[in-house]
């Protein structure tokens, strides 16, 4: 009944598994779950972190509100003596894009990864205490993905032992760095190193931008905000900036010199530390983005699932209740694959975290063998997961019908705040092309002493995969992990081999790469989808506690894989991996899986353990009491402050009285 304490209690009673155990599986461990719950409650219970009024604020109010929250968050972090893990979670649950994101997420890691020990000792204590605030100034007005095309210069002056940083063109203006516009005091600036007229390529420099006394820009620096972005509140809480240098001098020791150095005499030297270590920061950032994709998608799916269980439309018989929207097969076919994707991305994110740790340990020991693999994996999975998540959030908005269009649904702002991930830290198409190069190189080395490893190990069975034909005879066969893996491996292998063969026909490889770029992207996506499916299957082979939890995860894994097979059926058919009849059987099994997941849908999104504050949605609230909340929310709009609106006397009354000709408009 409308207005009851928990509208969704009947749905929760249907659960066929231990929800608390699933919460631990989602969190990764009972420790992480405990810390996460504690910090989430800390934020949700503090009125200072209120966010429901965000879409109604003007840009200046919005930005100042974000400054207040960031300062207050830091105050609470220091008062409560939160550790690094807890502080990071607090910033996540505040759920507001702010200058602190780039400070902790890019500025600090860049110094850790690319600064010498002396530089780290000088700069990191200041950054950790937030006595300086940093950003990451790489992208320019004219160049983003093509880092080697950056135009900003850093010319060494041996007379003064300084670098002169300069923006020689309009397009060399740094453009987009978060935190730069109004807050950052320092930046990691990427510029072309020039010594005696010779260009040594792009290197990183620590540059102070603003005075630490009055926050005014330092001499020679032009700096500001680039303007409003897509959406209401969303990413407009962030001061994305523009920055130009007019022959700004910085000391020589502010070049990040862990990998390459410039001596006092002006000599460029490579240090004993391998250049590959620079990629460590990139791998770290991208694996955190993959982990963030699962969280963002889970938020949208949680809102859409809960609302779909509350909303009723059509199907009423003999005066009975209408049908819950979630019971329509069309709704399930759009919603449940996204639910499965959220779990799939969570588990591949866990694996990427392990991969990053393993790679960094190997790099420290001088072993670079797994770096190309890690670079390709993080690039491809960043691209795939963020693209799917951005599209998935929008799909969840559509799944909520007209109410999903309201800012109070939480979905428009979630989409607007999330969609930049498809571009930053690597444009998603460009990243898949990088993956494709890795695949083509791997294929070219087959037959040599260098064997494919890691996620490309299946290329070692290329002859077998090129002869593969699925032996599926009934729908249930598609529930077998080896059957699914066989089809996905064969599809990925054949698409990569086909494009490699076509590339070999070009006398100029780069010309071929340009001509076949769309095919190369498709091959890379097939490879990345195989990675996610295989890592989900590997997760199922670990010890999973709790009654019925493994069974639910098996269903979600099958939904994820079979939905991809359905979506890319043309690939599987055209490469000869399966027959049309086997495709029909996969669809039949997929429909059956939707029915199996249906009774557990609410419990599966409850396992994400999102607070109402973090979701920020009247449609996705835990108690499902949607309509009273929607009604109450409407009256909070500033337009409802007055019964008769401003402008009535000037515009509405003359119109109604047909006096427009005499009115002064």
| 430 and 492 share one domain | yes
Residues with catalytic roles? 425
Closest by Cα among 361, 192, 349 to 286:
349
The pLDDT of residue 319 is 82
Q: Are residues 329 and 354 in the same domain?
A: yes
Does 596 map to a domain? Answer: yes
157-161, long-range: CB < 8 A, 24+ apart: 157/249, 158/264, 158/265, 158/266, 160/249, 161/251, 161/252, 161/264
Q: Is the dihedral of CA 10, 16, 18, 19 positive or negative?
A: negative
Whether residue 609 has pLDDT greater than 90: yes
Residue 289 has pLDDT above 70, yes or no: yes
Task: Classify residue 291: in a domain, yes or no.
Answer: yes
| Domain harbouring 215, CATH code | 2.40.110.10
| Residue 583 CA from chain centroid, whole number | 32
Q: What is the mean pLDDT of the chain?
A: 94
Which residue, of 606, 637, 652, is where some domain finishes?
606
CATH for 518: 1.20.140.10
For residue 541, what are the contacts with CB-CB under 8 A and spacing of at least 6?
none
Main-chain phi, psi angles of 183, to 5 degrees = -115, -50
- Residue 482 contacts by C-beta under 8 Å, 6 or more apart in sequence? none
Domain end (from 209, 238, 273): 273
Tens digit of pLDDT for each residue in 399-438? 999 999 999 999 999 999 999 999 988 899 999 999 999 9
Position 139 in a domain: yes
Host H or E run for residue 208: strand 198-208
Judgement on whether residues 195 and 221 belong to the same structural domain of the protein: yes
Which domain range does residue 158 map to? 109-273
Q: Looking at the domain assignment, is residue 349 inside a domain? A: yes
41 lies in some domain: no
Mean pLDDT of 544-564: 97
More reliable by pLDDT, 339 or 259: 339
Residues 6+ apart with CB under 8 A from 131: none
First to last CA, the chain: 50
Tokens of 60: 């200046």
Same domain for 283 and 246, yes or no, is no
Confidence of residue 660 (pLDDT cuts 50, 70, 90): low
Q: Are residues 255 and 314 in the same domain?
A: no
Dig out the tokens for 3 from the structure: 């207005």
What pLDDT shows up at residue 3?
Answer: 45
Going by pLDDT thresholds of 50, 70 and 90, the confidence category of residue 363 is confident
257 and 286 in a common domain:
no
pLDDT-derived band of residue 481, with 50, 70 and 90 as boundaries?
A: very high
Q: How far apart are CA 230 and CA 464, in angstroms?
A: 49
Helix axes 19-27, 549-567, angle to 10 degrees: 60
Q: Cβ distance 174 to 241 under 8 Å? A: yes
Predicted confidence at residue 372, as pLDDT, reads 85
What are the beta bridge partners of residue 194?
155, 199
Q: Are residue 308 and residue 269 in the same domain, yes or no? A: no
Is 565 contained in some domain?
yes
pLDDT, position 316: 79
pLDDT given for residue 665 in this prediction:
62
Q: Is the pLDDT of residue 2 over 60?
A: no
Strands 153-157 and 186-195, sheet pairing: parallel
> Which residues share a beta bridge with 324?
312
Count how many domains the chain has: 2
Q: Which pLDDT score is estimated for 274?
A: 67
Is-contact 526 432, C-beta < 8 A? no
Residues 259, 324, single domain; the answer is no
Using the predicted structure, report yes or no on whether residue 661 has a pLDDT greater than 90: no
| 257 and 144 together in one domain | yes
Among 297, 308, 380, smallest CA distance to 560 is for 297
610: CB partners within 8 A, 6+ apart = 40, 298, 299, 302
Whether the per-residue pLDDT at 232 is higher than 90: the answer is no
Q: Is residue 629 part of a domain?
A: no
Inside any domain, residue 538: yes
Say how far apart CA 596 and CA 555 lie, in whole Å: 8
Q: Same structural domain for residues 310 and 261?
A: no
Domain co-membership, 312 together with 182: no
Nearest alpha-carbon partner for 553 in 565, 543, 567, 564 = 543
**Residues 9-39: pLDDT tens digits?**
999 999 999 999 999 999 999 999 999 999 9
What gap in Å lies between CA 363 and CA 293, rounded to an integer? 27
Alpha helices in 263-321 (DSSP H): 278-310
The position carrying tokens 């390459």 is 260
Select from 224, 242, 273 the last residue of a domain.
Answer: 273
Reduced to 3 states (helix: H, G, I; strand: E, B; else coil), residue 647 is coil
Same domain (yes/no): 312, 226: no
**Statement: residue 80 has pLDDT above 70:** yes
Whole-angstrom CA distances from 68 to 65, 71, 182, 397 are 5, 5, 14, 30
Any idea which residue has 């069975």 for tokens?
Answer: 461
Q: What is the pTM of this model?
A: 0.94
Q: Could you identify the residue written with the tokens 């097969």?
A: 329
- What is the model's pLDDT at position 290? 96
């Amino acid at each position: 009944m409308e207005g009851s304490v928990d509208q969704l209690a009947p749905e929760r009673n249907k659960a066929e598994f231990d929800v608390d155990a699933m919460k631990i599986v989602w969190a990764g461990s009972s420790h992480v779950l405990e810390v996460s719950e504690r910090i989430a409650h800390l934020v949700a219970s503090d009125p200072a972190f209120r966010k429901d009024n965000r879409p109604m604020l003007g840009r200046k109010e919005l930005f100042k509100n974000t400054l207040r929250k960031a300062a207050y968050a830091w105050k609470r972090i220091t008062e409560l003596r939160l550790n690094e893990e807890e502080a990071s979670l607090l910033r996540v649950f505040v759920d507001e894009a702010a200058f602190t994101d780039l400070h902790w997420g890019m500025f600090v890691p860049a110094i850790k990864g690319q600064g010498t020990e002396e530089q780290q000792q000088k700069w990191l204590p200041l950054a950790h205490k937030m006595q300086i605030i940093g950003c990451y100034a790489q992208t320019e007005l004219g160049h983003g993905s093509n880092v080697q095309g950056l135009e900003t210069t850093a010319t060494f002056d041996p007379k003064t032992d300084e670098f002169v940083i300069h923006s020689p063109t309009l397009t060399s203006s740094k453009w987009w760095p978060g935190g730069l516009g109004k807050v950052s005091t320092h930046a990691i600036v990427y510029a072309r190193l020039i010594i005696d007229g010779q260009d040594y390529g792009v290197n990183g420099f620590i540059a102070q931008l603003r005075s630490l006394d009055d926050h005014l820009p330092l001499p020679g620096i032009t700096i500001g905000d680039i303007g409003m972005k897509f959406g209401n509140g969303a990413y407009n809480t962030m001061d994305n900036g523009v920055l130009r240098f007019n022959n700004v001098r910085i000391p020589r020791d502010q070049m990040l010199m862990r990998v390459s150095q410039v001596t006092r005499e002006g000599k460029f030297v490579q240090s004993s530390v391998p250049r590959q270590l620079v990629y460590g920061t990139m791998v770290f950032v991208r694996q955190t983005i993959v982990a963030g994709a699962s969280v963002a998608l889970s938020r949208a799916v949680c809102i859409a699932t809960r609302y779909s269980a509350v909303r009723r439309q059509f199907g009423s018989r003999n005066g009975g209740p209408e049908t819950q929207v979630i019971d329509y097969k069309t709704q399930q076919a759009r919603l449940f694959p996204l639910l499965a994707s959220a779990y799939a991305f969570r588990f591949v994110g866990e694996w990427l975290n392990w991969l990053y740790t393993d790679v960094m340990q190997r790099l420290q020991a001088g072993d670079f063998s797994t770096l190309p693999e890690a670079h390709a994996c993080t690039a491809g999975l960043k691209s795939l997961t963020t693209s799917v998540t951005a599209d998935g959030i929008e799909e969840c908005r559509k799944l909520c019908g007209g109410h999903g269009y309201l800012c109070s649904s939480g979905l428009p702002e979630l989409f607007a705040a999330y969609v930049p991930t498809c571009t930053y830290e690597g444009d998603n198409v460009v990243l898949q092309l990088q993956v494709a190069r890795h695949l083509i190189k791997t294929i070219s080395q087959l037959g040599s002493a260098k064997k494919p490893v890691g996620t490309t190990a299946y290329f070692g069975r290329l002859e077998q995969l090129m002869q593969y034909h699925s032996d599926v005879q009934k729908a249930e066969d598609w529930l077998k992990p080896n059957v699914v893996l066989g089809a996905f491996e064969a599809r990925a292998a054949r698409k990569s081999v086909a494009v490699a063969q076509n590339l070999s026909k070009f006398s100029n490889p780069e010309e071929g790469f340009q001509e076949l770029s769309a095919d190369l992207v498709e091959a890379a996506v097939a490879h990345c989808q195989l990675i996610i499916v295989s890592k989900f299957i590997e997760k199922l082979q670990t010890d999973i506690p709790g009654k019925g939890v493994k069974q639910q995860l098996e269903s979600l894994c099958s939904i994820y894989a079979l939905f991809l097979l359905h979506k890319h059926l043309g690939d599987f058919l055209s490469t000869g991996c399966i027959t049309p009849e086997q495709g029909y059987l996969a669809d039949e099994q997929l429909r059956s899986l939707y029915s199996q997941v249906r009774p557990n849908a609410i419990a599966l999104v409850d396992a994400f353990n999102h607070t109402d504050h973090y979701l920020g949605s009247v449609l996705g609230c835990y108690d499902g009491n949607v309509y009273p909340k929607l009604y109450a929310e409407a009256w909070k709009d500033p337009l409802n402050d007055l019964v008769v609106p401003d402008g009535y006397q000037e515009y509405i009354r003359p119109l109604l009285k047909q006096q427009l000709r005499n009115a002064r408009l």
